[in-house]
Structure 1
């Protein structure tokens, strides 16, 4: 049976991938939290990465594991680079030694946000913050090794576990009567389950010969929900759809510009990704962000 090594299983995408990949092979999960995974792996420690991969000898390595604390990365650049920039390269090097393929996830934050139309895979990345710079470094590290790979960029990931915008809004709505949300940053909210299920659909096309499949389709792909919105309108949609509104204190949702909500990190004003390549290459039908949000069982 095909061995799939899956990192970051306590994260949003990794958690969903555990379920989505079940029918594609033997999924061996790794993370720093061994209570929620099969094996311990610390992506900030090169020796830990090498040891696990050499022990398991997987046919495919899927790496949603990442340092995702965007604001905190500004004060922890070395740790962010170790996990996001250096670790993917080590994973690729070890994959090359054992003849494995790699799927790695990246972000819309590799772009500067100055575009007026959705970014394509051939647009030049110009990250504006430490998180984006480290994620771009990880992409380049994998590409430099020259193994069969997919780099999947996604955006504004949310779900019903972990730290994300949806969970933050639901928490704050129980504590406050008024919430101020930025309305001049535009992107595509993407459910972690959509990313996981789309990944599984892509792999199923390879009929279990994942290395040859990845070799044939190696490259970077944008995978998000379609359409675009602001953080404010995303929040508005959440509270329109959430059941049991009487459990929330929230009475007023206020739209504000970015300048009224300063953060340590400079975020792109526009980071919508063009998904035509992934849809045309793999036959994926990606839903509109609002339609996808309506599927969430709050």
Structure 2
């Protein structure tokens, strides 16, 4: 085995960690893979013998690549990716695909990724690298071209946004699924009162695809308003099956084995607080989501 093969082997041992960093930074599975691959290209052109801490070096390199990608995304105002929901990781059954386990540690639900998408790129980098991966501010500061003190402030602002959004769901999947089952039953029966009873008064629904113009999200707020929207999915509820979306309870509506609507639900204290819907069969297909 030559030196390059040894280096490739060392890199592969860190790939899952790097994908987890990139997914939190970008909210896109394909872009996360691109960022990790670019990190390999940079490593292969570097004298690795001079790298004292390879895991730390790779983490900061991926962070820098992702920061550049986020800034490029912001500069292309016509690019609709900023108006899409983050890429979900969907599992059929009761367990997460081992390939995605590292990417979903720390309860990285879709609701959290939505909040991260609303942060400025430098804030997102500081928060993700420090709060999620324990990278010191002294190592993050050169990436964002700020002082360590200013970088600390960036992470603090981002942390407040995340805390204010209260995106930590009920950790018990069985309890989550009981709420989802009640929601589906009410939708199938067209029972408006029962729907309202499982929704938090301030529930937020975000939807893309279907009759929503490409590149935009429909946002509906309030239990009565969301229940009214849910009744429009009454026929789809007949064909919905339970799935895990980023490790939390969700549902996948399909017809004749073709996935049509994916719903991710955030549940706290027995109530649904957020619903994120992707009703774009083509996007579901590109993400490799199947009805099982």
Structure-1-length-normalised TM-score? 0.26
Structure with larger RCO (C-alpha < 8 A, sep 6+): 1
Larger helix proportion of the pair: 2
- Pick the structure with greater CA Rg: 2
Structure-2-length-normalised TM-score? 0.26
